[in-house]
């Protein structure tokens, strides 16, 4: 494994992952829906926010530790649920969960993970969070929630913005599947990515193991794909939060909130927290970036529930900007995926180290010593920014 210390930014890890991971899986992580305008805005809108620099302040004993959903964290960052993480690197969910555990932050396992709930639970020592997609097969969903409970997952993340799949052109053109189809084109490509190929040969985890073996209709890859494609629930509604909470018996966060009215409805229907998210720009293209709508959602429900956010975070500075605009914590998905593709578990650790150091140094240059004190007073304000809504 190459020396990962040479990677200084998440973009460095992204470039390394692009060299090591087959195109269809790298593109899965590095893409949005339709024109990808929201995907781009998620990052460029962060760049428009400017931070106040302060000097001549005692900067000793700086602290990034806080809590997310009542859980102590070493920094206000959790790993977001990312489908097919185990195709970025063999056993990828296990590797990412271990890195998060050692770093002292939450890891969130996707329903559409390659490694199952049981796989991750057997290979880690601390409970992880679980993300739930509600499907038409309610008995399966009930069993899935029960499996998360059995694994002692302390928090359930309910994703509500995927009742129907946004059209992702790169995935369609690449013929994305897990496991991938063994075509001459794919064989030629993996010949140039031997480390990835060897890793995949060395694991039995190559399909969606939260589903495979748990659904009678999915007996092979073809039937699994067919079952999954017909399962997203077009009738999902706010009342579903109640039975999911009752079945799970613990805190439920609603993910996919991009509108203040939806935020209020989520809270009124029992959400214990919300994640301001546009699914990383992979659902409704031309929707606003999450950082743009964050302030109005904080204004609407921030005094009633814990507001978290994802989509677009590529640096420790982005985390601080989200906190300054009212988020209590953040999630990173692509930063994790790029680290994983670049260097496995060590690559995820390197991604977290990069974000952590950027947070620490930036906070100091802002004249702050404790991340819990970050707020609107840390945002540089002028007429242009006011017009842009920051």
Distances (CA, A) of 255 to 87, 279, 383: 23, 9, 32
Q: What's the pLDDT score for residue 384?
A: 47
pLDDT at 258 over 80: yes
* pLDDT value at residue 185: 81
Count: domains in the chain: 1
Q: Is the bond preceding residue 179 a cis peptide, omega within 30 degrees?
A: yes
Q: What CATH number does residue 358 fall under?
A: 3.20.20.70
Tokens 């060299």 map to which residue?
19
Burial code (b: 16+ CB inside 10 Å, e: under 16) for 262-293 equals bbbbbbeeebbbbbbbbbbbbbebebbbbbbb
Range of the domain at 116: 4-49+66-365
Query: Which residue numbers belong to the known binding site for glyoxylate?
Result: 28, 133, 168, 279, 282
* H/E stretch holding 78: strand 77-79
Spatial distance between the Cα atoms of 307 and 328, rounded to a whole number of angstroms = 6
Please enumerate, by residue number, every residue annotated as part of a binding site for FMN. 81-83, 110, 131, 159, 255, 277, 310-314, 333-334
pLDDT tens-digit series, residues 324-372: 999 999 999 999 999 999 999 999 999 999 999 999 999 999 999 999 9
Q: In this structure, what token pair is assigned to residue 81?
A: 């649920």
List, for residues 267-318, the tens digit of each pLDDT value: 999 999 999 999 999 999 999 999 999 999 999 999 999 999 999 999 999 9
Whether residue 377 is contained in a domain is answered as: no
| Residue 245 predicted with pLDDT over 90 | yes
Render pLDDT for 72-95 as a digit per residue (tens, 0 to 9).
999 999 999 999 999 999 999 999
- Crossing angle of helices 316-324/37-47, nearest 10°? 80
**Res 374: pLDDT:** 98
Residue 54 lies in a domain: no
Which is nearest to 126 in space by CA: 159, 160, 103? 103
Stated as kind and residue range, the H or E segment containing 331 is strand 329-332
pTM score, whole prediction: 0.94
| Predicted pLDDT at 2 | 64
Report pLDDT for 308.
98
Structural domain includes residue 379: no
Residue 183, pLDDT score: 82
- pLDDT of amino acid 389: 54
User: What φ, ψ does residue 129 adopt, rounded to 5°?
Assistant: -85, 155
Which of 229, 165, 201 minimizes the C-alpha distance to 91? 201
Given CA atoms 274, 275, 276, 281 in this order, what sign does their dihedral have? negative
Q: Does residue 253 sit within a domain?
A: yes
Residue 282 falls within a domain, yes or no? yes
Checking if the pLDDT of 152 tops 90, the result is yes
Please identify every residue annotated as catalytic: 279
Percent of the chain scoring above 70 in pLDDT: 95
Return the half-sphere exposure (C-beta side, CA atoms, 13 A cut-off) of residue 270: 17
Residues forming the annotated binding site?
28, 81-83, 110, 131, 133, 159, 168, 255, 277, 279, 282, 310-314, 333-334
Say which range, 38-42, 101-105, 220-224, has the weakest mean pLDDT.
220-224
Residue 387 within any structural domain of the chain: no
């Amino acid at each position: 494994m190459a020396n990962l210390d040479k990677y200084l930014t998440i973009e460095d890890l992204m470039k390394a992952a692009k060299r090591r991971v087959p195109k269809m899986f790298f593109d899965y992580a590095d893409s949005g829906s339709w024109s990808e305008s929201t995907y781009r805005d998620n990052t460029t809108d962060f760049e428009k926010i400017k931070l106040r620099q302060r000097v001549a302040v005692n900067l000793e004993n700086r602290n990034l530790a806080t809590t997310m959903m009542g859980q102590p964290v070493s920094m206000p960052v959790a790993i977001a649920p990312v489908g097919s993480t185990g195709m970025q690197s063999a056993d990828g969910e296990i590797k990412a969960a271990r890195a998060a555990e050692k770093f002292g932050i939450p890891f969130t396992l996707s329903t559409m993970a390659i490694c199952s709930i049981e796989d991750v639970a057997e290979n880690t020592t601390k409970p992880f969070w679980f993300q739930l997609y509600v499907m038409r097969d309610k008995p399966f969903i009930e069993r899935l929630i029960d499996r998360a409970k059995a694994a002692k997952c302390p928090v359930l993340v309910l994703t509500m913005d995927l009742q129907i799949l946004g059209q992702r052109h790169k995935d369609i053109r690449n013929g994305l599947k897990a496991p991938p189809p063994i075509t001459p084109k794919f064989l030629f490509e993996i010949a140039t990515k031997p480390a990835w190929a060897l890793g995949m040969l060395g694991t039995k985890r190559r399909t969606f193991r939260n589903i495979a073996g748990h659904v009678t209709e999915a007996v092979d890859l073809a039937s699994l794909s067919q079952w999954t494609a017909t399962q997203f629930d077009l009738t999902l509604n706010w009342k579903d939060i109640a039975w999911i909470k009752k079945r799970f018996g613990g805190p439920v966060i609603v993910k996919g909130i991009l509108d203040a009215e939806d935020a209020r409805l989520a809270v009124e229907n029992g959400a214990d927290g919300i994640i301001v998210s546009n699914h990383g720009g992979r659902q409704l293209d031309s929707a606003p970036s999450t950082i743009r709508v964050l302030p109005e959602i904080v204004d609407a429900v921030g005094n009633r529930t814990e507001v978290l956010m994802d989509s677009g975070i590529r640096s420790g500075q982005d985390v601080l900007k989200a906190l300054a605009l009212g988020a209590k914590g953040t999630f990173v998905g692509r930063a994790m995926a790029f680290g994983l593709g670049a260097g496995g578990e060590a690559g995820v650790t390197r991604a977290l180290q990069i974000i952590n150091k950027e947070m620490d140094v930036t906070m100091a240059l802002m004249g702050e010593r404790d991340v819990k004190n970050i707020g609107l007073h840390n945002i540089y304000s002028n007429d242009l920014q006011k017009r842009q809504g920051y």
